[in-house]
Every structure is written in C-alpha cells, then in structure tokens.
C-alpha cells in the first residue's frame, strides 16, 4: 500500500491548507455560545465539559453552569454537592471534581487564569489539549490542539499508516497539526480543525466532497479514508455485578458518598456489596448499565432494619435521607435509573 516513506512527508503541503481551512470555518462554523466570548473561564469550562461529551449534550450543561456560576469565583465558592448535582448525567465525574479544584486555585490567585499552555497545565484536570485550546483562543499562543477530531483529520491528510495511539504516529500527528496553526489567529485555526473533524471529516461517512482540505488529503486521493486513523489498542471491558443495599428506617434510606477515587467518585449511592445479602426482604433487578471499561449488572435488595440493631451508628461517609429527598442528591446515572424505578415503592414502604 502506498504511504509517505516518512511520517513528515507531505508537510510542505500543509501551509497552503491554512487559508482554505480559515475561509471554510468563517462560513461553516456552528453558532456555539462559548465562541461568542474570549473569557478564559467560559472557554475553559466548555473544554472541560466537552471532554468525552457531545456538543449537543454539553451545551445545555455549559449553559446551566454559566447561569449558576457566571464567574470562576462563583464556581470556586460553590458547595461540592451542588457542583456534582449540576454535573449529574455527564459521566466521567473526575472532570467535575478537578474543575472545582481548579476554580478554587484560580480564585485564590486573584481570579485570573494562567496565560500560557504550560501555566494552564498546572491546573487540576487540564491536559495538553485543554491547555492548548484555552491558550490559543484566549491569549493567541500559537500552540496546536490535538484531540480526537484533529487526530482523525491529520491522519487522513497524511494517509498515516502508523498507529496514532503509539509514539511515532502521535509525533507525526503533532508535527502536521503544528504546521496548520495560523500564527495570525491560532485560536480560530485550532477551532477550525476541531470543527472540521466534528462536522465534515467524521469517523464514518465523511463529507469529502464538502471538505476544504480535500485537495491536500492523501487518504482521499488514495481511497483510504475509511482506514484512517489506524489504532491498535483495544479497550478491555470488564463484566461486574453490584448489589445495592436498601436500608430503610422510618421513611429514610441510608445513602453513601462514593470516594473520590474509583467508580462514581463524589456521587451518592446506595451501599454497594459484591454479594447478595442473606437477610433481604425483597429484590429488584437485574439492572444493566455500560461504562467505557465496565459492563454492569446490578440488583437492589431491601434489608430488614430494626430499631437497636446498630443502624444509628453509621460510617462518616453517609447519612440518612428521606425517600422524597434522594432525588435532590447528585446521583450516578445507574443510581438515578434505579431510584426512578423503585423510588415510588420505597416511599410506600417508608
């Protein structure tokens, strides 16, 4: 199969692509609220939310966060439980915890974000991609963003046969991405590359006829679009079983706050055990739920709780919650689904 002999072959063709990409973006860009501002807080928040999240879903969350926390100081001073509640349903909850910590650091430093990609990377949860996006859009630093969309676009431009999830392939991607940064407006060219990958150079059924870079795309020329990008890593999915314990006492249920590290960190849940309890009065399930690395099968068990059995002395990471108030807690998605199913019955039991 034909391919550039060296990962950097074809880079001399990259500079002429900046102008058609810029012209295309001016006309084709989506009207997104964070593109109407240069406020680093608003843009940083959008990048945090859009990690692992579709724009259509993330936009609503961004608007809710901005409405409730219009400034970074507002987010910094918010109760963690409220932050997690607003984040509920987005998944990858470490993003919310890190964003809260980052906001506190920025607020403690006077409310100004670092103005370079290197400085931004010092904030919790800010990696190379988010740092480059904020630094280029807000401060004009000519540094390339490299996310999944950019990787796909660049790997097709190069018709790259090197796996993009290995160091040599990643280096080739970063080299061309850097060449495609417009020094006159790096923020706009970075957004244009991401927009192109999201709306035109899609994983399947890309619109090559409508692509402004088609004339410089080796994969388009050679008919190998569907084979790029090349990856060799595969995600191992673990099958797990969880048993949720419903401890009901005088109209209240014992809920526990999940530790920050681990699954559903920072969210509230019924206590989880690996084995079904022996003294369950009733059982519900199975409930099925899929995460990136886990395929979960879960059951709920109503335990027999009697006065004086020690239920008054509980661990410090939980509290008794009335059945009516459980929905007000920041719950993980599976817990939310389970409670929607069994909550009415628990209110009758209570």
Regarding whether 291 and 221 lie in a shared domain, the answer is no
Q: Using CA atoms, how far apart are residues 74 and 83, in angstroms rounded to an integer?
A: 11
What pLDDT does 182 receive? 93
What pLDDT does 12 receive? 35
Regarding whether 253 and 196 lie in a shared domain, the answer is no
Q: What is the pLDDT of residues 87-96, one digit of tens each?
A: 999 988 999 9
Regarding whether 242 and 223 lie in a shared domain, the answer is no
Regarding whether 280 and 218 lie in a shared domain, the answer is no
What pLDDT does 307 receive? 57
**What is the maximum span of the chain, computed from C-alpha positions, in angstroms?**
78
What would the two tokens of residue 30 be?
A: 């989506």
Q: Is 205 part of any domain?
A: yes
Share of the chain above pLDDT 90, in %: 79
Regarding whether 246 and 160 lie in a shared domain, the answer is no
Q: Is 158 part of any domain?
A: yes
What pLDDT does 293 receive? 86
Regarding whether 223 and 244 lie in a shared domain, the answer is no
Regarding whether 222 and 98 lie in a shared domain, the answer is yes
What pLDDT does 1 receive? 30
What pLDDT does 292 receive? 82
What would the two tokens of residue 182 be?
A: 């417009």
In this prediction, residues 35-43 reach a mean pLDDT of 97
Q: Is 3 part of any domain?
A: no
What pLDDT does 306 receive? 64
What pLDDT does 312 receive? 54
Closest CA to 172 of 303, 337, 5: 5
Q: What is the pLDDT of residues 167-213, one digit of tens each?
A: 999 999 999 999 999 999 999 999 999 999 999 999 999 999 999 99
Strands (E), the chain: 238-249, 252-257, 268-269, 272-273, 280-290, 294-303, 318-322
Regarding whether 177 and 144 lie in a shared domain, the answer is yes
Confidence of residue 10 (pLDDT cuts 50, 70, 90): very low
Final residue before a domain boundary, out of 196, 227, 258: 227
Confidence of residue 33 (pLDDT cuts 50, 70, 90): very high
Confidence of residue 313 (pLDDT cuts 50, 70, 90): low
What pLDDT does 261 receive? 85
Regarding whether 243 and 223 lie in a shared domain, the answer is no
In this prediction, residues 75-84 reach a mean pLDDT of 97
In this prediction, residues 110-127 reach a mean pLDDT of 97
Q: Using CA atoms, how far apart are residues 187 and 131, in angstroms rounded to an integer?
A: 12
Regarding whether 222 and 285 lie in a shared domain, the answer is no
CATH number reported for the structural domain that contains residue 130 in this entry: 1.10.340.30
**Half-sphere exposure of residue 28: CA atoms within 13 angstroms, side-chain side:** 19
Lowest-confidence segment of 5-9, 189-193, 260-264 by average pLDDT: 5-9
Confidence of residue 267 (pLDDT cuts 50, 70, 90): very high
Query: How many domains, in total, are found in the chain?
Result: 2
Q: Helices 40-50 and 128-139, interaxial angle, to 10°? A: 150
Q: Residue 165's domain spans which residues?
A: 11-227
What pLDDT does 5 receive? 33
Confidence of residue 2 (pLDDT cuts 50, 70, 90): very low
Mean of pLDDT over the chain: 90
What pLDDT does 15 receive? 61
Regarding whether 264 and 154 lie in a shared domain, the answer is no
Catalytic residues: 47
Which of helix, strand or coil describes residue 301?
Answer: strand
Q: Is 19 part of any domain?
A: yes
Lowest-confidence segment of 75-79, 132-136, 245-249, 311-315 by average pLDDT: 311-315
Strands (E), 5-160: none
Q: Is 317 part of any domain?
A: yes
Q: Is 1 part of any domain?
A: no
């Amino acid at each position: 199969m034909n391919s550039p002999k060296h990962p950097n072959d074809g880079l001399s063709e990259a500079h002429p692509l900046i102008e058609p990409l810029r012209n295309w973006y001016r006309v084709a860009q989506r009207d997104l609220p964070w593109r109407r501002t240069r406020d680093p807080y608003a843009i940083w928040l959008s990048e945090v939310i859009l990690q692992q999240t579709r724009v259509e879903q993330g936009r609503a969350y961004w608007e809710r966060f901005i409405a409730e926390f219009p400034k970074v100081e507002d987010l910094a001073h918010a109760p963690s439980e409220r932050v997690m509640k607003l984040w509920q349903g987005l998944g990858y909850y470490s993003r919310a915890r890190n964003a809260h910590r980052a906001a506190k650091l920025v607020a403690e430093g006077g409310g100004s974000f670092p103005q370079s990609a290197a400085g931004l990377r010092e904030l919790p949860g800010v990696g190379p991609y988010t740092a480059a996006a904020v630094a280029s859009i807000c401060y004009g630093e000519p540094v390339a963003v490299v996310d999944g969309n950019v990787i796909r676009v660049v790997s097709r431009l190069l018709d790259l046969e090197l796996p993009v999830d290995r160091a040599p392939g990643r280096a080739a991607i970063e080299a061309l991405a850097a060449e495609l940064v417009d020094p006159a407006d790096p923020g706009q060219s970075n957004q244009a590359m991401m927009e192109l990958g999201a709306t035109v150079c899609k994983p399947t059924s890309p619109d090559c006829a409508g692509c402004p870079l088609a004339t410089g795309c080796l994969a388009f020329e050679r008919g190998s679009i569907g084979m790029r990008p090349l990856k060799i890593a595969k995600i191992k999915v673990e099958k797990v079983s969880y048993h949720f314990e419903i401890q009901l006492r005088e109209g209240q249920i014992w809920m526990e706050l999940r530790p920050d590290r681990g699954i559903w960190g920072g969210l509230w849940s019924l206590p989880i055990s690996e084995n079904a309890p022996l003294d369950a009065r009733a059982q519900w399930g199975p409930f099925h739920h899929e995460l990136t690395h886990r395929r979960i099968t879960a059951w709920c068990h109503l335990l027999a709780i009697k006065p004086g059995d020690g239920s008054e002395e509980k661990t410090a990471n939980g509290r008794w919650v009335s059945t009516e108030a459980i929905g007000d807690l920041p719950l993980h998605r599976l817990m939310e689904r389970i409670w929607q199913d069994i909550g009415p019955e628990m209110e009758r039991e209570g």
